[in-house]
Amino acid sequence: MTKAKAKIRLQLSSDKHLTTLLDALAPEASSPVAKRARVVLCKEESGLVLAVEARDTTALRATLNAYLRWICSAMNVIEAIENYP
């Protein structure tokens, strides 16, 4: 039974960044560690949609925090690679 939901849309600067993020996060979304939350990642125009459904707000918060940190880390790596001399 789902009690908490969140949907986050992130606009990205390029389709390449979007594809890279989806590829990086797909393994986590397809085989979640915990059964208290379900994650769907999808492409919407030039953005990434992160949809989370959880049994409770604690699971929702933990799942959102994890995915947002992973997204931030991946974007930092992408930026570092692009700006490497």
CA distances to 21, 25, 80 from 50, in Å: 11, 10, 24
Q: Residue 8 has what pLDDT?
A: 96
39-84 tens-digit pLDDT: 999 998 879 999 999 999 999 999 999 999 999 999 999 999 989 9
Residue 34's pLDDT is 75
Domain ranges for the chain:
4-82
Between 3-7, 32-36, 45-49, the lowest mean confidence (pLDDT) is in 32-36
What pTM does this model have?
A: 0.88
Q: Are 51 and 6 in contact (CB under 8 A)?
A: yes
Residue bearing tokens 């992973």: 70
Q: Which CATH superfamily is domain 4-82 in?
A: Alpha-D-phosphohexomutase, C-terminal domain (3.30.310.50)
pLDDT band at 1 (very low <50, low <70, confident <90, very high): low
